[in-house]
């Protein structure tokens, strides 16, 4: 039997340390300068960082536009990810096209970064459909509203891809509140036992709705929850785009190479309320978001790239123009009235419809045809 020491290392020369870094991995200071000492993870190249910058600028404008649409009644609800753009974009850019992303309801920016049309990405939050895009086309599972159930789905799909020998990885996003759910722990245990190629990406934004982190866990950090299941874990500054890309790239490669799952905890912050239906001023001081604004991920990456000559005024202007174009297309799409097809309710419920489902579909079809005749 393998003897694992307290530092997480196997005494027989087996797996490396499971323990996360004592402090979150960071490449950049809050002002966007290079941090010292340099982390052990390879730094992403300038092309990828420019791509991340563009995606974050576009994503933040999309997020602001979606928030405005809730005030106009065009969206039923919207969970903003303002301030978490490094996590949203990093989760997508760390994956290959064939890999799978399992999002929560807060990952709308990640969906747009993956190439999903904004109107399709917002279908759930508008109330038009449970999922407005084709999951298989984009390799993105439907956005999950129940907490942490997507982690179980990701573990199962990752195991299936392993059995098929595809080399694909599944990355599941989850919030700090989701780590208190039983599904999260079942997913970690299953993935660890079967060495499924899954990455569990915890965006610790300090609050599960109105409940602060210290009411969620007594662990030193959420990353330590992976250690008990035998999962390699790491902590990262979630507002440092360079660090997020570096750590997630290493996590994905770890999973893809057959070493089993990887858990990453990103320390970040949601600057807006939980959703437009929430009032964050009831449970946090005004000074708290202001402190986190000084760690803005877009400003940090822009400063870093400019210092190294990898970003010009023209690049910044181009990203802003692309962001405005996407916002305009989002407005146009959401300002158009939807035309739901009621019979689509019965699609994708079962692979083979049950007799009861066929009966219900036929009943609704007859009702619709009768109304059409009367009109």
Q: Catalytic residue at 254?
A: no
Q: Which residue has the tokens 């299953």?
A: 190
Which of 270, 317, 312 lies closest to 289 in space, CA to CA? Answer: 270
User: Considering 9, 283, 329, 331, which one is annotated as catalytic?
Assistant: 283
User: Considering 274, 295, 300, 304, which one is annotated as catalytic?
Assistant: 274
What is the token pair recorded at 68?
């405005």
User: Considering 26, 126, 270, 300, which one is annotated as catalytic?
Assistant: 270
Q: Catalytic residue at 274?
A: yes
Residues with catalytic annotation? 270, 274, 283
């Amino acid at each position: 039997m393998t003897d694992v020491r307290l530092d997480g290392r196997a005494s027989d020369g087996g797996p490396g340390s499971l323990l996360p870094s004592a402090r979150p991995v960071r490449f950049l200071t809050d002002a966007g300068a290079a941090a010292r000492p340099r982390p052990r993870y390879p730094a992403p190249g300038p092309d990828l960082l420019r791509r991340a910058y563009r995606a974050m600028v576009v994503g933040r404008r999309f997020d602001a536009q979606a928030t405005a649409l809730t005030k106009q009644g065009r969206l039923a609800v919207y969970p903003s990810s303002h301030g978490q753009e490094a996590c949203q974009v990093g989760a997508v850019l760390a994956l290959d096209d064939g890999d799978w992303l399992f999002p929560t309801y807060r990952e709308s920016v990640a969906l747009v970064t993956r190439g999903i049309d904004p109107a399709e990405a917002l279908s759930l939050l508008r109330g038009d459909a449970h999922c407005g895009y084709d999951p298989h086309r984009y390799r993105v599972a439907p956005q999950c509203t129940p907490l942490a159930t997507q982690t179980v789905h990701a573990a199962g799909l990752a195991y299936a891809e392993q059995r098929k020998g595809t080399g694909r990885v599944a990355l599941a996003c989850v919030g700090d509140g989701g780590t208190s759910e039983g599904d999260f722990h079942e997913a970690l245990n299953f993935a660890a036992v079967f060495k499924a190629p899954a990455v569990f990406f915890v965006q610790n934004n300090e609050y599960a709705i109105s409940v602060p982190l210290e009411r969620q866990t007594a662990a030193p950090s959420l990353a330590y929850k992976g250690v008990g299941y035998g999962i390699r874990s790491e902590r990262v500054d979630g507002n440092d785009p360079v660090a997020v890309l570096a750590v997630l790239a290493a996590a994905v490669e770890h999973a893809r190479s057959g070493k089993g799952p990887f858990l990453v905890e990103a320390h970040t912050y949601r600057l807006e309320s939980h959703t437009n239906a929430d009032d964050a001023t009831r449970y946090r001081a005004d000074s708290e978001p202001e402190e986190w604004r000084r760690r803005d991920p877009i400003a940090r990456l822009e400063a870093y790239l400019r210092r190294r000559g990898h970003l010009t005024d023209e690049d910044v202007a181009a990203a802003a123009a692309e962001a405005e174009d996407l916002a305009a297309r989002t407005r146009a799409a959401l300002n158009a009235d939807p035309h739901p097809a009621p019979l689509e309710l019965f699609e994708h419920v079962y692979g083979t419809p049950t007799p009861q489902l066929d009966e219900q579909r036929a009943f609704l079809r007859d009702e619709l045809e009768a109304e059409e005749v009367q009109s």
